[in-house]
Every structure is written in C-alpha cells, then in structure tokens.
Amino acid sequence: MNNRAKNCLIVIPARYHSQRFPGKVLKKLKGKPVIQWCYEAALKSGLGDVIIATEDKKVLKFANSIGAKAILTSKALTSGTDRVFAAAKKTKYEFIINLQGDEPFMRAATLRKAFKKLLAHPDSAISTACAKITDKKEINNPNCVKIAMNNKGRALYFSRAPIPFHHTLSKLSKTEPYYQHCGFYIYRKDALKTFVSLPQSNLEKLERLEQLRALENGMKIVVAKVKALGPAIDVPSDIKKAEKYFKLNKGK
C-alpha cells in the first residue's frame, strides 16, 4: 500500500440512538456486536489509525473493552459525517475515512481499493465503493442506495430509487446491472472540512442521503467497483438478513 496510507485516519461514527434502529451498533452478529465487525475490518485494511466516535457512553465502554480508541462526541451532531469531523478536525491526517458503524460486512480490500481510486484521481474530493446488485428485491428497496456513474467511475447521482432507469426499449436494460452503494467515504481532509461547512441541500433532504450535498456543490466522488457487499444494518429486519448472509458466505 502507498506510504500515504499512513496519513489516513479511519473514524467509525457509531450513533447508539439511531432513529430507525436504536442500539443497532451493539446488536450481536455471530457473537460480536456490529461495531466490532466494522472496527476489525478497519484494522485489517492497514490504512491508518482507527477511532470510534459515539454520542453514548455504552458504545464508549464497549470500545474500551476491546482496546479500541474511542471518543465521546456531542449528541447535538446531526450526521455521521459531523461526528467524523469532530473526531478528525484537530488532527493532521491527509485523508479521513468515514467507515459507518453499521457495515459489519465491510472488507479491508474494499477500503484499500477505494483509497487507491482516490489517489488515482487527484481532481476528486471523495471516494467510495459499489457492487452489482444480484438480488432483484433490493432494486426497489429504499434502504439499498443505488448509484449512477460515468464510464470513469465518477458518481453522477445516488438514490433510494432504482437508477439509472432501465427503459424497456433500451437493449442495455437487459444487460446493464444496477449498482449498490457501500456506505463509507474517504475524504481529503480539506474536502471534509468543506463538506461539513455546507448547508444541507434540497436533494439531500429529499432522499435523506448526505452524499448528495457533495454532488450538488460540485464535489467530485469517484467509485471503486468491488465484487460483493454484505447487508448494512439500517432497520431491525436487517439483522436476519445479516445472519442469512453469514450462513451463505460462511462468515467471510
């Protein structure tokens, strides 16, 4: 990995009082809390130091129990990215990775590939990842965020709706896949500072997707394609999806 990886800080925002699923970061999957799976993937990536940022002492206590660095951030912060910036703003790292605390199937290789993508595109402010959607049920699932990209892997739009629309008269509709967004971001430090200073955008408010704020303000996001993504934990029913995914993939 490039030496610049040593200049990365991975922040895992872990909000205990989630509106859709309170306490989800401490819910257990195969004997370990969701947040622990995320933390271990971050360590395996070798991209830099790792810290958990939370608003609740329960998460702080758990982080300390597994030897993870953690800080308590304000309950008034409205998004995971605000929590990431609160943890990173006084540091001197060149890159800040926002690895959300509800992605238990994050792979270290996915983080590394997205980091390389950002290094390869110096005109881009942010990088992330996506994978082909293989389960057709997920195409219309609003909790599965879809992404439209150009041929260089730059994000054009993110949506909870199926995008790009597959018109029946288009030959591509039979062969072109939908892509699911993987919920993490790698920011250049200045880009993160800019992002959190911007007001919420209309599209962001409509879709409840904060990455749209970046696009609406002209910030470029590049996307690394990876083979597969496991389910994120957004709502209580996702725990069952995750358990099923574990069985099918033997916990890998």
Q: Would you tell me how many other CB atoms lie within 10 Å of the CB of residue 4?
A: 14
pLDDT in tens, 130-160: 999 999 999 999 989 999 999 999 999 999 9
Beta bridge partners of 8: 48, 95
pLDDT in tens, 166-175: 999 999 999 9
Q: In whole numbers, what is the pLDDT of the chain averaged over residues?
A: 93
Pairing status of strand 48-54 against strand 70-72: parallel
Task: Please report which residue ranges of the chain form alpha helices under DSSP H.
Answer: 34-45, 57-65, 80-88, 108-120, 189-197, 202-207, 211-216, 238-249
User: What are the structural domains of the chain?
Assistant: 3-249 (3.90.550.10)
pLDDT above 60 (res 252): no
Beta bridge partners of 158: 147
pLDDT in tens, 98-116: 999 999 999 999 999 999 9
Q: What is the CA radius of gyration of the chain?
A: 17
Q: Is 107 helix (H, G, I), strand (E, B) or coil?
A: coil
Range of weakest confidence among 3-17, 39-53, 168-182: 3-17
65, 48 contact by CB (below 8 A): no
Q: Residue 3 — pLDDT band, cuts 50, 70, 90? A: low
pTM: 0.92
